[in-house]
Amino acid sequence: MSSGIVVKDVTHTFPAAGGAAVTAIEEVSLEIAEHEFVAIVGPSGCGKSTLLNIVSGLITPSAGSVTVGAEPVRGVPRDVGYMPARDSLLPWRSCLDNVGLPLEIRGDVSRAARRERAGELLGAVGLGGFEKAFPSALSHGMRQRVAVARTFATQPSVLLMDEPFSALDAQTKITIQDLFLSIWEAQHQTVVLITHDVMEAVALADRVVVFSRRPGRIKSIHDIDLPRPRSVQHLIFEEPRFQQHLRDIWRDLDV
Amino acid sequence: MSDQLVVSGAPSASPAGTPPPGRRTRLRRAAGGGKAMVVYRVLGMVAFLGAWELAVRAELVNPLFLPAPSKVAGTLVDLVRTGDLWPHVSETLQATFAGFVAGVVVGALLGFVIGLSPALSGFTSPFITMMNSMPRIALAPLFVLWVGIDIKSRILLVFSLVVFIVLTNTIAGTQSVDRDHLTLARLFSASRRQVIVKIAMPSVLPWILAAMRLSFAYALAGAVVGEMFLGQRGLGYLIVAGSGVFNISQVFAALVVTVIVAFLFDNLMAVAEKRILRWRA
């Protein structure tokens, strides 16, 4: 099944308390190919998270349509993995059971298979040995690693990520971005990454979409021609083309 | 009695999210105490009882109204040795636990159903506030009219005290379920049943446990007060019978037993809570 995403003429208006409605995004059209990694950047309040919530089916847009794979989005699509800004781990569940949660809810694999898969994923994010630990015993970065593992648990073909690394300190962020990249580069899901961090967008994505101020419209799209596999650390410190992309995108950003 | 009905000590479920762990552990250490704290507490207790004993022996107070601790201990030992104490303790415990268990079960279930439905919680909220502000001890005579003078009326009294404490706490708990967790469940396409079982119930559990700990003291007090008015047996009856014949040391002996029961239960609950909520930092 193809897992491209087509956003067509999407406008969304929130009713506001004072009576004046707020238009978050206006006439946004975007095609994302299967296996493509697209990052969306823009000034804060530009409606980029609204777009992600529309693609994930949490919000029904005021106008326009969204297709994920062959299906128009109505409700939350099944084949999508979502990674929120905060890890949202359930504090009463061990790491293993947190990673297994989406599988458990879906209910199509046995308990043994679920635990095995969750264990493998914890290993893949460098948390082997922490299966039984509760989130309260983990650092911020470790919790976010668990969230990364959880996102991959259902083997989704589409990943939607809403500023997933924004709450981390600078060093932890780079480590986890590299970790995420290494898993993604082996699997190549279609990704939409919302971020306010231009560096993150350029380092991870194939294309960076720049949103204007509210109401959010697409201002420009930048192809990032950096070779893969990538290393975020390497890009930041030693790659002149990376710096060039950064400058180009900064110029378009109304900050 | 003015009930502090919504327990503020359910930290993981506070609406503002989990408080910073550092602060919580510091609070807990100060409240829990180590071995040294236990020694200080025993010393404090000995000093208090010693001062009391001395005050009575020096005839600063009339021993008829305030018997010395040694006298109270003697009475208590006698009550235990003769076996006279047990029917009373058993009577009080039966009323306490029957009313308490019923109150916790009904309060938690009802609170969960009401809390999960915005319409129901909106509708019931003024009524619950009204029921809460009613001094339910004052309803004791009505309970006697309704179910008779025997233990049933005391069970009903205990139930009426416990059920609202557990109810209001459970409602508060369901309403403070982390929104991020609910969003996450939606994104995983969880069914309503799954949201209830996997997210809502575990989130509310700490609130129910806290309400149980708080309301047990009310349950015991309800049973004892009920017996003072309505009983022929029980610790409350011992108190009334003792004060009626100026046997004040019997009054104190009954109070000491009440305190011991409350203390034992609270410690049991603390251990259970720690075990059930071991995921807390």
C-alpha Rg value of chain B to the nearest Å: 22
Please give the Cα distance from B129 to A122 (Å, whole number). Answer: 48
Q: Does A93 contact B280 at a Cβ distance shorter than 8 Å?
A: no
- What confidence category does residue B10 fall into, taking pLDDT thresholds of 50, 70 and 90? very low
Mean pLDDT within B119-136: 90
CB A86 within 8 A of CB B180: yes
Bridge partners, A12 (sequence order): A25
Please give the Cα distance from B133 to B110 (Å, whole number). Answer: 19
Q: Does A137 contact B185 at a Cβ distance shorter than 8 Å?
A: no
Q: Which pLDDT does position B15 carry in this prediction?
A: 35
- What confidence category does residue B26 fall into, taking pLDDT thresholds of 50, 70 and 90? low
Q: Work out the angle at residue B234's Cα, subtended by the Cα atoms of residues B268 and B69, and round it to the nearest 5 degrees.
A: 75
Residue B23 pLDDT > 50: no
**How far from B265 is each of A138, B273, B278, CA to CA, in Å?**
33, 12, 19
- A112 burial (CB, 10 Å; 0-12 / 13-18 / 19+) is exposed
Bridge partners, A208 (sequence order): A39, A222
CB A187 within 8 A of CB A203: no
- What confidence category does residue B21 fall into, taking pLDDT thresholds of 50, 70 and 90? very low
Please give the Cα distance from A12 to A180 (Å, whole number). Answer: 31
Q: Which pLDDT does position A255 carry in this prediction?
A: 61
CB A25 within 8 A of CB A11: yes
Q: Does A105 contact B194 at a Cβ distance shorter than 8 Å?
A: yes
- pLDDT tens, B142-176? 888 899 888 999 999 999 999 999 999 999 999 99
Q: Does B188 contact A56 at a Cβ distance shorter than 8 Å?
A: no
Q: Does B278 contact A93 at a Cβ distance shorter than 8 Å?
A: no
Phi-psi region of A88 (alpha: psi -120 to 50; beta: other; left: phi over 0): left
CB B252 within 8 A of CB B74: no
List the single best residue of A56, A59, A90, A104 to mutate versus B (max B Cβ within 10 A): A90
Closest CA to A9 of A62, A48, A84: A62
Q: What is the DSSP string of chain A?
A: ----EEEEEEEEEE--TTS--EEEEEEEEEEE-TT-EEEEE-STTSSHHHHHHHHTTSS--SEEEEEETTEEP-S--TTEEEE-SS----TTS-HHHHHHHHHHHHT-S-HHHHHHHHHHHHHHTT-TT-TT--GGGS-HHHHHHHHHHHHHTT--SEEEEESTTTTS-HHHHHHHHHHHHHHHHHH--EEEEE-S-HHHHHHH-SEEEEE-SSSB-EEEEEE----SS--HHHHHHH-HHHHHHHHHHHHH---
Q: Smallest Cβ distance to A105: which of B180, B190, B279?
A: B190
Please give the Cα distance from B151 to B172 (Å, whole number). Answer: 32
Report the run of H or E that residue B137 belongs to, with start and end.
none
- Helices first, then strands: H and E counts in chain B: 12, 0
**Taking the alpha carbons of A133, A134, A136, A138 in that order, is the dihedral positive or negative?**
positive
Residues of B with CB below 8 A from A134's CB? 278-279
Residues of A with CB below 8 A from B198's CB? 90, 101, 104-105
Q: Which pLDDT does position B138 carry in this prediction?
A: 85
- pLDDT tens, B241-274? 999 898 999 999 999 999 999 999 999 999 999 9
Backbone torsions φ then ψ of A27, nearest 5 degrees: 45, 60
Q: Which pLDDT does position B28 carry in this prediction?
A: 53
Q: Which pLDDT does position A191 carry in this prediction?
A: 95
Query: Which residue of chain A is at minimal alpha-carbon distance from B189?
Result: A76
Please give the Cα distance from B215 to B242 (Å, whole number). Answer: 27
Phi-psi region of B250 (alpha: psi -120 to 50; beta: other; left: phi over 0): alpha
Closest CA to B206 of B165, B238, B170: B170
Burial A125-157 (b: 16+ CB within 10 A, else e): bbbeebbebbbbebeebbbbbbbbbbbbbbebb
Mean pLDDT within A124-128: 91
Residues of A with CB below 8 A from B278's CB? 134
Residue B281 pLDDT > 80: no
What share of residues in chain B are helix, strand, coil (percent, to 5)? 80, 0, 20
Please give the Cα distance from A224 to A221 (Å, whole number). Answer: 10
**How far from B237 is each of A137, A171, B232, CA to CA, in Å?**
51, 69, 6
Q: Provide the whole-model pTM.
A: 0.83
Please give the Cα distance from B60 to B207 (Å, whole number). Answer: 47
**Averaged confidence pLDDT in chain B:** 87
Please give the Cα distance from B229 to B225 (Å, whole number). Answer: 7
- pLDDT tens, A220-230? 999 999 998 99
CB B157 within 8 A of CB B226: yes
3-state SS assignment for residue B188: coil
Q: Smallest Cβ distance to B188: which of A105, A134, A135?
A: A105
Q: Does B18 contact A91 at a Cβ distance shorter than 8 Å?
A: yes
Residue A93 neighbours by CB distance under 10 Å: 19
Residues of B with CB below 8 A from A97's CB? none
What are the structure tokens assigned to B30, written together?
Answer: 């100060």
Hunting for tokens 């990538």 — which residue is that? A230
Please give the Cα distance from B190 to A215 (Å, whole number). Answer: 32
Distance from the A221 Cα atom to the nearest Cα atom in chain B, whole angstroms? 28
Please give the Cα distance from A170 to A200 (Å, whole number). Answer: 11
What are the structure tokens assigned to A83, written together?
Answer: 């990674």
State whether ipTM is beyond 0.90: no
